Amino acid sequence: MRRRMTLLPRLLLEVAMLLALTSAMASAEELSPQRKGELRNLIMQDCGSCHGMTLKGGLGSALRPVDLDGVEEETIARIVLDGVPDKPMPPWRGLLSDSEALWIAHALKAGVVK
């Protein structure tokens, strides 16, 4: 049986979660709708060269939400920015900002790019 939280702690928890979420998204929110569109195209077309346009994988690994289950957005963003040593995954730092990489990580995990 699930224990019902009393109202106050539950409210606090929700506020905390909301704050955490907004701070994580804050940097991503700076991106213009146009830039997000460009990034969506980049994911499908350019990441898609190796990971498949539907992100089911190719030379690179599959990147659907189910494949990224349990992987932190920050970890994904770091791989995007720094690449994988000795593997074809290149570092995108210089072409993508930190917040853009984080937005891509978020978009991949949320499955908003199909």
Partner 1 sequence: MRILRLITFLAALTAYCLAAAAQSQLRGTGDLGIVIERANGSVCVVDTSARAILSCVEGFGDLSHASAVFSRDQRYAYVFGRDGGLTKVDLLEQRIVKRVLQAGNSIGGAISDDGKLIAVSNYKPGGIKVFDAETLNQVADIPASYGADGERSKTVGLVDAPGRRFIFTLYDAGEIWMVDFAEPGEPQITKIGRAGKLPYDALITADGRHYIAGLFGEDGLAHVDLWRSPARIERVLDGYGKGEAKMPVYKMPHLEGWALAGGQFILPAVGHSELLALDAETFKEAGRVKVHGQPVFAIARPDGRQVWVNFAHPLNDTIQVVDVPTLKVVHEFKPGPAILHMEFTPRGHEVWVSVRDANKVEIYDARTFEKRGELEMRKPSGVFFAARANRIGL
Sites of contact with partner 1 (CB under 8 A): 41, 44-46, 48-50, 52-54, 56-59, 83, 86-88, 90-92, 95
Exposure letters 63-87 (e unless 16+ CB within 10 A, then b): bbeeebeeeebeebbbbbbeeeeee
Taking the least distance from each CB to partner 1, the nearer of 46 and 98 is 46
Q: Shortest gap between Cβ of 54 and partner 1 (angstroms)?
A: 6
Q: To the nearest whole angstrom, how small is the minimum distance from the Cβ of residue 29 to partner 1?
A: 25
Residues 6+ apart with CB under 8 A from 113: 40, 43, 44, 55, 107
Shortest spacing between CB 97 and partner 1, in angstroms? 14
Q: How far is the CB of 37 from partner 1 (least distance, A)?
A: 12
| Residue 19 vs 59, nearer CB to partner 1 | 59
Closer CB to partner 1, residue 25 or residue 53? Answer: 53
Please identify, using beta-carbon distances, which residue of 48 and 77 lies nearer to partner 1: 48
The DSSP code for 45 is I
Angle at 25 between CA 22 and CA 29, to 5 degrees: 115
Terminal Cα distance for the chain, rounded = 38
